[in-house]
Amino acid sequence: MTTGSGEDGPVRIPRDAAREAAERELADPRYHQNDPNLLQRALDWFWKKVGELFDAAAGATPGGWAGLLAIVLVVVLLAVALRLRLSALRRTPTTGDGALFGERPRTAAEHRAAAERHAAESRWTEAVQERMRAIVLALEERALLTPGPGRTADEAATEAGRALPAHAERLRAAARAFDDVTYGGRPGTEREYALLSTLDTDLRNSKPRPAALHGGGA
């Protein structure tokens, strides 16, 4: 590199030294005040790559961009349909059409034993269901409820609450728990099972209101 000329002739600067001097000059912050920051550069790189991918996909898709957009729309519609289908399955009752019991008649003791087996395996949803069935059948066996194969948990709780008003609120809570785990898709919990078990024990030791023994109303 040559700089200027004078009486003594041109001044020559070695190439490496000239490059280093230029790099030092360009490193001056004054030249970089308006440069994008690291995050902005990363975003620019990301969107550039996304654009390249879409361009490549459009080039490989029949119809170009129009064909690619049609494919994306179909995928979105399929995803929405699948989500709706899965939501419907989660809302599908796990037993029957809303009734408490299946077709095969069982005793309260059998349902209670089944509930305890499920609880021992930490299968709280099934344990809650079986304990609620045991509660209702035990009340039927004591003639505090009129046997009704198609009865729902809510109906049983309402009728039992009239015969045993001191336990009416807990019976309604038990019915809600049964409905939630059976029809609402929510898993049962150990706490819910404990509450139903305690209610079952308390109901077996309770005495009905005198009017209920003769079929009286509230």
Instruction: From residue 13, give the alpha-carbon distance in Å to each of 6, 7, 8, 198.
Output: 15, 17, 15, 96
pLDDT value of residue 23: 63
pLDDT value of residue 95: 44
pLDDT value of residue 146: 85
Report strand pairing: 2-3 vs 11-12. Answer: antiparallel
Which has the higher per-residue pLDDT, 77 or 214? Answer: 77
Q: What is the DSSP letter of 32?
A: G
Cβ atoms 162, 204 nearer than 8 A = no
Q: Report pTM.
A: 0.52
Q: What is the mean pLDDT of residues 98-118?
A: 80
Rounded to 5 degrees, what are φ and ψ at 12? -105, 130
Per-residue confidence band for 188, with pLDDT thresholds at 50, 70 and 90: very high
Reported as a single tens digit per residue, the pLDDT across 10-62 is 555 566 666 666 666 656 665 555 656 677 777 777 777 767 766 666 666 56
What average pLDDT does the structure give for the chain?
Answer: 75
Measured CA angle at 40 (ends 46, 23), to 5 deg: 110
Per-residue confidence band for 89, with pLDDT thresholds at 50, 70 and 90: very low
pLDDT value of residue 93: 45
pLDDT value of residue 205: 86
Reported as a single tens digit per residue, the pLDDT across 142-159 is 988 888 777 888 999 999
Helix (H) or strand (E) holding 125: helix 124-141
pLDDT value of residue 31: 54
